[in-house]
Amino acid sequence: MKVAIIGTGYVGLVTGTCLAESGNDVTCVDNNPNKVALLHGGGIPIYEPGLAELVARNARRAARVHDRPGRRGPGRAARVHRRRHPQSDAGDADLTAVFAVADAIGAALRDAPPGPPGARVVVTKSTVPVGTNAQVAERLAAAGAPHVDVASNPEFLKEGAAIEDFMRPDRVVVGTRRPEVSEVLRELYAPFLRTERPFLVMSPESAEMTKYAANAMLATKISFINEMANLCDRLGADINDVRKGIGHDQRIGFPFLFPGPGYGGSCFPKDVEAIIAMGRRTALPLKLMQAVDAVNDAQKQVLFTKIQQHFGAALAGRTLALWGLAFKPRTDDIREAPALALIDALLGAGVRVRVHDPEAMANVRALYGDTLYYADRPYGALEGADALVVVTEWPEFRNPDFEVMKRLLTGRVVFDGRNVYEPRPMEALGFTYYGIGRGG
Ligand code: UGA
């Protein structure tokens, strides 16, 4: 198939590359000339495990991944057009870019002759409020391209595991009322559904809602376990035991019940806000979603509160080491990262901050400049620090040399925001240890 991908962010680049890998003729388009130049030069604009190799292989093997500046539009040859949604602002999703792309596609296809149903499909992979696909169809028609079908096809990939998630999806969801359109997408996804995973066809509205419901459910699980962890801290229970105690109940399960310093990233915070906004527009206050959001905001302060309680009035002038800045491991993405909330609170309290992250340092430096000390290696961040704070659970932080840590840290205090260490062994090693919900 001929596929044009509009936008080479996480979803666009991963989708385009994986579709090229499965034998399609893919053209990636971006309106950022720097990104296009970087891709042409063999680089990729984001860190995502395995992606650079896959882009290079497909671009080289059959020159199937092309990149063109956005202004030239997606081109007439493309049969399936995919679009990626930008960041939304607080509350309502910002659809400016989505509609601009719809208008551009409409203009590019203005003179295209009518084809059979499903001959030209505009696929929305963006997370967009319910009703957006219908609006996109209206805009395409208004722009003079009435013979174009629109389908919703929400993406469920996670940063850090994006290729695996795309190649082996749990399910594919397609929102369209035309069987010819769902057949086009079924054919496109067939290579990835070898493992008997379902291809679910529903209305565009249900597909749009599915994406929000999925992220809202996952965010709810995280806020739930964080609230339970905070209660454990006060009552002397250990959330890690409680997590196991509930997770073995198959109705509850284990995934996404790890407490931490709050969820971050480009999806959960904005999607929870957007679903609250959808409720507001329909006069249905979504009280649970509001609570999920409020619990998460508060959770981003939990590490700072523990630090304040430990140091008391003597916090100003201290030096703290932070391990992990990205909102999760295996990414360089710092959007809404809990580490940023902590850094702001620490700097506000007059603390000197030394940081290390395997991939996200350049992005943090772009925000904070010389206000922080950036260590090339994890141990470098510890030198002369009063305490270590683990904010993101990169694998390299899980088994450090604790003797070296003790030597470098002046204070021998560890605030473990991801529960990567065990309280008792840490205390036996001579550390003062604080986890999340580990009983005090
Ligand atoms: C999330 C969803 O997991 C994907 O299915 C979805 O496609 C994507 O949003 C999206 O809408 O584009 P992502 O934001 O990449 O993916 O990352 P997650 O792995 O979901 O983690 C989100 C945040 O939750 C991270 O800050 C992570 O540390 C936190 N988290 C996750 C926890 O605190 N505890 C957990 O048990 C799991």
* 301-336 b/e (C-beta count within 10 Å ≥ 16 → b): bbbbebbeebbeeebeebbbbbbbbbbbbbbbbbbb
pLDDT exceeds cutoff 80 at 365:
yes
- The whole-number pLDDT of residue 79 equals 54
* Rounded Cα gap, residues 54 and 100, in angstroms: 30
Instruction: Give distance in angstroms: CA of 268 to centre of ligand 1.
Output: 7
Question: Looking at 63-67, 135-139, 264-268, which range is the least confident one?
Answer: 63-67
- pLDDT higher than 50, residue 133: yes
Cβ–ligand 1 contact at 327 (below 6 Å): yes
| pLDDT one-digit tens code per residue, 376-430 | 999 999 999 999 999 999 999 999 999 999 999 999 999 999 999 999 999 999 9
Q: Is the ipTM of this complex over 0.90?
A: yes
Contact 186, 248 (CB under 8 A): no
**CA 67, CA 89: separation in Å to the nearest integer?**
28
Closest atom, ligand 1, to C-alpha of 257? 36
Which of 201, 191, 200 shows the shortest CA–CA distance to 168? 191
Which residues line the annotated binding site for NAD(+)? 30, 35, 127, 159, 270, 335
* Residue 46 scores a pLDDT above 50: yes
Q: Which residue has the tokens 């507001």?
A: 280
Question: Residues 6 or more apart from 227 whose CB is under 8 A from it?
Answer: 295
Q: What is the pLDDT of residue 304?
A: 98
Question: Which of these, 64, 74, 53, 79, lies nearest to 16 by C-alpha position?
Answer: 64
C-alpha 158 – ligand 1 centre gap (Å): 6
Return d(Cα 66, Cα 335) in angstroms, integer.
28
Please report the pLDDT score of residue 314 as a whole number: 96
Ligand 1 centroid from CA 28, angstroms:
26
Give the residue-averaged pLDDT of 118-143: 94
Question: Which tens digit of pLDDT belongs to each residue from 140-166?
Answer: 999 888 789 999 999 999 999 999 999
Asked if residue 363 has pLDDT above 80, the reply is yes
Q: Is 348 exposed, middle or buried (0-12, 13-18, 19+ CB in 10 A)?
A: exposed
Query: Are the CB atoms for 3 and 78 separated by under 8 Å?
Result: yes
Q: What is the pLDDT of residues 288-324, one digit of tens each?
A: 999 999 999 999 999 999 999 999 999 999 999 999 9
Which two structure tokens, joined as six digits, stand for 295? 């619990």
- Give the containing element (helix H, strand E) for 67: strand 65-69
> CA-CA distance, 252 to 333, in Å (whole number)?
30
Percent of all residues in the chain with a pLDDT value above 90, rounded to a whole number: 82
Answer for the pair 59, 26: CB distance below 8 angstroms, yes or no.
Answer: no
Two structure tokens written together for 143: 């722009």
Best mutation site among 48, 209, 215, 416 for ligand 1 pocket (most ligand atoms within 8 Å of CB): 215
Q: Is 232 a catalytic residue?
A: no
Query: 354 pairs with which residues across the strands?
Result: 321, 373
Cite the annotated binding site by residue number: 30, 35, 127, 156-159, 211, 256-260, 264, 270, 328, 335
Q: Which domains does the chain have, with CATH numbers?
A: 2-202 (3.40.50.720), 203-440 (3.40.50.720)
CA distance 171 to 254: 20
d(CA 272, CA 258) in angstroms, rounded, equals 19
Q: Could you report the per-residue pLDDT of 198-215, keeping only the tens digit for each?
A: 999 999 999 999 999 999
Residue 78 has pLDDT above 80, yes or no: no
pLDDT for res 60: 53
For residue 84, give the 3-state DSSP assignment.
Answer: coil
Q: Tell me: the pLDDT tens digits for 216-233?
A: 999 999 999 999 999 999
Within 10 Å of residue 384's Cβ, how many Cβ atoms? 13
